[in-house]
Chain A
Amino acid sequence: MLTAGMLTLISPDGTVRDRLTITLEATRELYADMVEARTYDHKCMAMQRQGRLATYAPFEGQEAAQIGAAAALRPDDWVAATYRDAALMWRAGYPWELLIAGRTGDERGGQAPEGVNVLPPSITVGGHMIHAVGLAWAEALNGSDRVALTSFGDGATSEGDFHEAMNFAAVYRTPTIFLCQNNGFAISYPREEQTRSESIAMKADAYGMPGVLVDGNDVAAVLSVVGEAVARARAGDGPTLIEAVTYRLGPHTTSDDPARYRDEDEAGEWRRRDPLERVRALLERSGGWTPEWQQELETRAAAVIEEAVVQAEALPPPTGAEMLSRMYAELTEPLLSQMGEIET
């Protein structure tokens, strides 16, 4: 896999490789966000094991790619992401309680608050990338400077829809940011076997748009490259493909066992490149981290997530009538007659 030219700002050991352009305080905030996201991820894994959530797709290991990318957006920008992007969606404004509600198997979890332009996660792989092209295209046609970011995995780049989305975005120069979180696997199929391209970022060349390779476990580097892509998009200079090289530390979902398809030594190697640990080390060296602060962050995150769980689980059971009423703006004649049947 090609990693030459990959931007890293904070090394795995926490030393700064290039000049950091973000402040200590901003770095502390990104770190706090990653701690909160990981707390959510661990909580969801535990709840799924307890039977309180449907299948869950963990993002542990990918916090920097997701938090860094979302931090580069404006609150009114569009996001079209996947089932593994809860951290990204949350940092873009989507409340934890709705993300949890969605995972309990409740469509009300898909209802982003007014003003939050984050689509419910796409469960099918790849079809949502073109949505970010249409969203961005509409904004550009309407003279707005909003951009649309779509997030997807390395596996999705094998879908035909990746080609159509990349091509449309480049042809119409839509303000779209394609964020590929290359986490090493399409469920079990390694990245190296999915494509003969040396990198995913290099595929951008063929479409006539910039392709950028970034250390996906480095929150500062991700923030930086996504920030540049967003600035380019807002200025009317078109789309960018970003490949954030990262690693899924957990399983694909709670339904599989990664030991069947990957070397646990490899996973151990990636654990040493943990996206949280390198920032913690950097902050500690800069005087921005203490064990007490860490404790405070973890306690606060646990309380926030616990409260979100309470809210999600307090949703009254959905009625059959609500289910029938969600298909159209108004009930159709066939649904009206079915309404009479479902309520009796």
Chain B
Amino acid sequence: MSEQTLAQAVNGALATALESDERVVLLGEDIGRTGGVFRITDGLQAKYGEDRVFDTPVAESGIVGAAFGMAIAGMRPVAELQFLGFSYPAYDQIINHVARIRNRSNHRFTAPLVIRVPYGGGIGAAEHHSESTEVIYAHIPGLKVVVPSTPSDARGLLLAAIEDPDPVLFLEPIRLYRAIKEEVPELYYTTDIGPLRVEREGTDLTLISWGAMMKESRAAAALLEERGASVEVLDLRTLSPIDQHGIVESSAKTGRVVVVHEAPRTAGLGAEVAAIIQERALYSLQAPVRRVAGWDTVFPLKRSEAHYLPSVERIVRAAEETLEA
């Protein structure tokens, strides 16, 4: 065990994967010499060599397409794209090839690759660097979408993603990279892709979130607790395949649900969560399911970030209205 940030946990998981599975290779822009734009792969090329950790030309479609070919040929490539807003040139590869080859070949060819992408806002970055467009990936059949919000989940989920027989988009919340530290076991362990994590148990209301918004949800739950409400907090952590059972179980228990996400509200993943709840737990509900989300705008630049990102106050207000309804 050692105390690690989420960034260190991802780095450690990649090192463990390179160590334990010779099929694992890493490829991406600037990941070798400089350790990537967020230094997540720091030291890995020096330690594991230039034939395991590849700096690539600036070509997202090429990176994902090449990783796809490598995966079909039996390797376990882990590709890094620098920001979610830079992933769209690779969208054709992901949606048209990576997510479909198992179906297209009736299981004969598969693409067990991982695409790691830092995502989300809150650090006052330039345009395109704060995107939270996870739902356009969660909508694609054949792909899995995973988002850790703690260092120990980051390690376990990333090792699970690398082992997974299907392609996994692994989204890393930029704002959490170095925001929290946690004891992380150094042994090889995996965290199942699929099941959500009950971060905190409660009986009056369920807060459902993922990624960086877990921080605000956690703080909101603590504040609500002080005011006398018992709040359950769920970390979805796998966006696809979504844990319908876990969502329904908690919703049926508390009867009041608020979904919190950073992405724009309209057609965000919160809509799917609300639909699952109304399909399978409507008669347990005491109040409408509420969404606290980003606005239907592009992610703003630094000076407007505070207007955009769901705040603890917004979450608490929505929760209190839901509790009173």
Q: Are B241 and A135 in contact (CB under 8 A)?
A: no
Instruction: Determine whether the beta carbon of A326 is less than 8 Å from that of B102.
Output: yes
Chain A residues with Cβ under 8 A from B144's Cβ? 328
**Interface status of B97 (Cβ within 8 A of chain A):** yes
Return B152 CB to nearest CB of chain A, in Å: 23
Q: How far is the CA of A91 from the CA of B101 in the complex (A)?
A: 22
Assess whether A333 is in contact with B107, with CB atoms less than 8 Å apart.
no
0/1 per residue, B281-304, Cβ < 8 Å to A?
000000000000000000000000
Is there contact, CB below 8 Å, between A134 and B67? yes
Pairwise interchain contact B103-A327, C-beta atoms closer than 8 A: yes
Residue B165 at the chain A interface, CB threshold 8 Å: yes
With A128-B97, A334-B244: A160-B61 Cβ-Cβ less than 8 Å: yes
The secondary-structure label for the interface of chain A is helix
Is A197 an interface residue when CB atoms closer than 8 A count as contact?
no
User: Quick check: is B25 within 8 A (CB to CB) of the other chain?
Assistant: yes
Interface residues of A in 295-344 (CB under 8 A from B): 326-329, 332-335, 337
Q: Does A177 contact B (CB under 8 A)?
A: no
Instruction: List chain A residues, Cβ under 8 A from B25.
Output: 141
Residues from 56 to 106 in B contacting A, C-beta threshold 8 Å: 56-57, 59, 61-62, 65-75, 77, 89, 92-93, 96-97, 101-106
Q: B141 contacts which chain A residues (CB < 8 A)?
A: 327
Q: Which of A122, A135, A161 contacts B72 (CB 8 A)?
A: A135
Known: A124-B96, A135-B70, A332-B241. Contact between A161 and B56, CB under 8 A? Answer: no
- Does residue A148 face the partner (Cβ distance < 8 Å to B)? yes
B72 touches A119 (CB 8 A): yes
Q: Is the Cβ of A120 less than 8 Å from the Cβ of B104?
A: yes
Whether B241 and A333, one on each chain, are in contact in the complex, defined by CB atoms closer than 8 angstroms, is yes
Does A171 belong to the interface (CB within 8 Å)? yes
Can you name the residue of chain B whose Cβ is closest to the Cβ of A123? Answer: B96
How many of chain B's residues touch chain A, expressed as a range? 35 or more
Q: Are B68 and A131 in contact (CB under 8 A)?
A: yes
Closest chain B CB from A100 CB (angstroms): 15
Q: How far is the CA of A167 from the CA of B242 in the complex (A)?
A: 38
Whether A326 and B107, one on each chain, are in contact in the complex, defined by CB atoms closer than 8 angstroms, is: yes
Given A130-B61, A141-B25, A167-B59, do A112 and B72 touch, yes or no (CB 8 Å)?
A: no
CB distance from A158 to the nearest CB of B (A): 15
Q: Which of A103-111, A229-237, A243-251 is the interface stretch?
A: A103-111
Interchain CA distance A238-B110 in the complex, whole Å? 26
Other-chain residue from A110, A131, A329, A337 in contact with B97 (beta carbon distance below 8 A): A131
Give the distance to chain A from B60, nearest Cβ to Cβ, in Å.
9
B134 interface residue per 8 A CB criterion: no
Q: Is the Cβ of A127 less than 8 Å from the Cβ of B107?
A: no
Contact assessment for B106 and A326 in the assembled complex, using a CB-CB cutoff below 8 Å: yes
A139 near B61: Cβ-Cβ < 8 Å: no
Residues of A within 8 A of B12 (CB): none
Contact B74 A142 (CB under 8 A): yes
Q: How distant is B64 from chain A, measured CB to nearest CB, in Å?
A: 8
Whether the pair B103, A130 counts as a contact (CB closer than 8 A) is no
| Distance A138 CA – B22 CA, assembled complex (angstroms) | 12
Q: Are B66 and A134 in contact (CB under 8 A)?
A: yes
Task: Tell me, yes or no, whether B245 is within 8 Å of chain A by CB.
Answer: yes
Note all chain A residues with C-beta closer than 8 A to B89.
Answer: 160
Residues on B with C-beta less than 8 A from A164 are 57, 59, 61-62, 65
With known contacts A327-B103, A332-B194, A137–B66 Cβ distance under 8 A? yes
Chain B contacts for A73, CB-based, 8 A: none
A65 within 8 A of B: no
How many Å lie between the Cα of A78 and that of B74 in the bound state?
A: 13
Least Cβ–Cβ distance between B307 and chain A, in angstroms: 34
Q: What separation, in Å, do the CA atoms of A332 and B26 have in the docked complex?
A: 27
The answer, yes or no, to whether B227 is at the interface (CB within 8 Å) is no
- Measured in the bound complex, the distance between the Cα atoms of B165 and A133 in whole Å is 21
Identify B92's interface contact among A78, A111, A124, A168, CB under 8 A.
A124
User: Does A200 sit at the interface, judged by CB under 8 A?
Assistant: no
Closest CB in chain B relative to A146 CB, distance in Å = 8
Given A78-B73, A110-B104, A127-B96, check contact A333 B243 (CB 8 Å): yes
Contact indicator per residue, chain A 89-123, by CB within 8 Å of chain B (1) or not (0): 00000000000000000011011101000011010
Asked if B108 and A112 sit within 8 Å, CB to CB, the answer is yes
Residues of B within 8 A of A327 (CB): 102-103, 141-142
Answer whether residue B172 sits at the interface, using C-beta atoms and an 8 A cutoff: no
A221 on the interface (CB 8 Å rule)? no
Q: Are A111 and B69 in contact (CB under 8 A)?
A: no
* B66 adjacent to A130 (CB under 8 Å): yes
Residue A35 at the chain B interface, CB threshold 8 Å: no
A138 with B65: CB separation less than 8 A: no
Q: A107-B103, A138-B70 are in contact. List 9 more A-B contacts (CB 8 A).
A: A110-B108, A111-B106, A124-B96, A134-B67, A134-B70, A134-B71, A138-B73, A328-B241, A329-B107
Interface residues of B (CB under 8 A from A): 25, 51, 54, 56-57, 59, 61-62, 65-75, 77, 89, 92-93, 96-97, 101-110, 141-142, 144, 165-166, 194, 240-245
Query: Would you list 25 pairs from A and B whose C-beta atoms are within 8 A, ordered by A residue?
Result: A78-B73, A107-B103, A107-B104, A111-B107, A119-B101, A124-B92, A130-B61, A133-B62, A134-B65, A134-B68, A134-B72, A138-B74, A141-B25, A141-B51, A160-B89, A161-B92, A167-B57, A167-B59, A168-B66, A326-B103, A326-B107, A327-B102, A328-B166, A332-B194, A334-B241
